[in-house]
């Protein structure tokens, strides 16, 4: 059994566990997870659309047998519950991993890497209500969708109260900054590159007489650094990819006193491959493409049954067309096509193929049968769903690797760092928060 205790990873060896527990700090966690990802990359570093068979079936024969024994009807439920998925596939992995099984599976268990919910989160609604009257609350949160407002309240609840001014990075309309300005009664600078969002946010702030000032600024522009200062708390709620990385770099260089970020969309980077921040990350031989970085994001808690069915149909049609284009071109490689409008799905698979061929300037000169290629698409979808299901075992592991790369980077720059969940998974799967305070 493995579990987190605060910022320490507690690895329970089983027999005599009370005496043999090994406490791992952030650097040790990173090294252990790095080793796991490197040894098992055949299972998660894959592009299912390019596969004609399970790409790891010879290396992991028991796992291959197990996933083909799964019913199509149970895949969605397994995919939505990491603990159940791990329990279902663990026996097969135990057989395939052999002598390495216990060490690797202790980290792969979702319970092992589950972050604790910050103790302030339970009180976030009361803290918001205390800052706003019952009459003001609905007006203050106007135009913010329910889940987003819950995220903002929870994030604001764990930002330490100080007299420091606040920098809100990639602010949008400044909803988070507005609540922090109200709760902390402090100066907030909201940096956002879209002028229309800055204007809307400033109207809200002025209406509520809040000390919130918007700066229309590209976060990647060299001049943005002047807004990142030492005596400051820098916050970023779901700043994507390189945007939140940019804040970490600028804040650490400026010796910003406090940093609170919730990373999102790790794949939105300017380089083709991920550039690790920490020395440990840079020493690792793990190479992550943009496609790899999407893995932690491949889980949804809000999709309806109709949305899921539409997604399954889209995948089957795309794979059916992929088989068709390989046949027509005599080229055995995947050909990406644009996203089809939802209304076009009523036209049927054959219409989709003609539309996709037109988009790629492909002439369908060979005779073909739509029903035959649709059947191929459905069968290939059964394959890709199983490849993705196994890869999804590693969603939380890869995300922890990315989070720890950021944590270790901040520690090396003189910060005390906490890593925890700022809200429940049902509010948003991107619920991890890094809180750093300058030593």
Give all domains of the chain, ordered by start, each with its CATH number.
121-298+399-438 (3.40.50.150)
Inter-residue contact 133 to 100 (CB < 8 Å): no
- End-to-end CA distance of the chain: give it in Å, rounded: 33
pTM attached to this predicted model: 0.90
Nearest to 437 by CA among 422, 414, 415, 420: 415
DSSP-assigned beta bridge partners for residue 363 = none
CA-to-CA dists, residue 11 to 109, 111, 204, 408, angstroms: 11, 11, 49, 20
| Full pLDDT tens readout for the chain, 439 residues | 333 334 444 333 333 322 222 346 999 999 999 999 999 999 999 999 989 899 999 999 999 999 999 999 999 999 999 999 999 999 999 999 998 899 899 999 988 878 888 876 656 556 666 667 766 777 788 788 889 999 999 999 999 988 899 999 999 999 999 999 999 999 999 999 999 999 999 999 999 999 999 999 999 999 999 999 999 999 999 999 999 999 999 999 999 999 999 999 999 999 999 999 999 999 999 999 999 999 999 876 556 778 888 889 999 999 999 999 999 999 999 888 988 888 888 889 999 999 999 999 999 999 999 999 999 999 999 999 999 999 999 999 999 999 999 999 999 999 999 999 999 988 999 999 999 999 9
Q: What is the enclosing helix (H) or strand (E) of 437? A: strand 432-438
Determine the Cα–Cα distance for residues 370 and 324; give it in Å rounded to an integer.
Answer: 9
Alpha helices in 25-112 (DSSP H): 26-39, 41-44, 61-69, 75-80, 82-97, 101-108
């Amino acid at each position: 059994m493995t579990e987190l205790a605060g910022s320490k990873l507690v690895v329970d060896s089983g027999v005599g566990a009370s005496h043999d527990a090994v406490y791992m700090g952030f650097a040790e966690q990173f090294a252990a997870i790095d080793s796991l990802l490197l040894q098992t990359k055949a299972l998660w570093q894959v592009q299912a659309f390019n596969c004609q068979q399970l790409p790891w079936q010879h290396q992991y024969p028991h796992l291959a047998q197990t996933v083909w024994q799964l019913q199509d009807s149970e895949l969605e439920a397994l995919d939505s519950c990491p603990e159940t998925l791990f329990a279902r596939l663990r026996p097969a992995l135990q057989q395939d991993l052999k002598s390495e099984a216990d060490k690797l599976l202790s980290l792969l268990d979702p319970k092992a890497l589950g972050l604790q919910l910050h103790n302030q989160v339970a009180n976030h609604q009361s803290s918001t209500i205390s800052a706003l009257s019952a009459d003001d609350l609905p007006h203050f949160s106007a135009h913010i969708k329910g889940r987003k407002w819950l995220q903002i309240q929870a994030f604001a609840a764990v930002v330490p109260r100080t007299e420091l001014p606040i920098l809100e990075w990639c602010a949008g309309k400044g909803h988070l900054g507005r609540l922090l300005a109200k709760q902390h009664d402090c100066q907030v600078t909201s940096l956002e590159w879209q002028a229309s969002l800055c204007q809307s946010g400033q109207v809200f702030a002025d209406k509520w007489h809040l000390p919130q000032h918007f700066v229309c600024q590209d976060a990647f522009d060299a001049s943005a650094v002047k807004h990142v200062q030492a005596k400051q708390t820098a916050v970023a709620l779901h700043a994507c990819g390189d945007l939140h990385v940019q804040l970490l770099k600028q804040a650490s260089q400026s010796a910003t006193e406090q940093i609170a970020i919730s990373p999102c969309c790790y794949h939105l980077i300017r380089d083709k491959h991920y550039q690790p921040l920490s020395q440990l990350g840079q020493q690792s031989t793990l190479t992550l493409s943009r496609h790899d970085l999407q893995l932690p994001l491949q889980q949804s808690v809000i999709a309806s049954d109709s949305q899921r069915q539409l997604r399954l149909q889209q995948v089957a049609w795309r794979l059916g067309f992929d088989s068709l284009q390989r046949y027509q071109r005599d080229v055995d490689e995947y050909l990406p096509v644009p996203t089809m409008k939802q209304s076009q799905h009523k036209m049927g698979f054959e219409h989709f193929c003609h539309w996709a061929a037109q988009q790629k300037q492909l002439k369908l000169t060979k005779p073909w049968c739509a029903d035959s290629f649709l059947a191929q698409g459905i069968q290939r979808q059964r394959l890709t769903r199983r490849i993705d299901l196994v890869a999804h075992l590693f969603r939380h592991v890869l995300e922890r690797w990315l989070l720890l790369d950021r944590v270790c980077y901040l520690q090396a720059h003189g910060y005390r760092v906490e890593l925890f969940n700022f809200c429940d998974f049902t509010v948003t799967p991107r619920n991890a928060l890094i809180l750093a305070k300058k030593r």
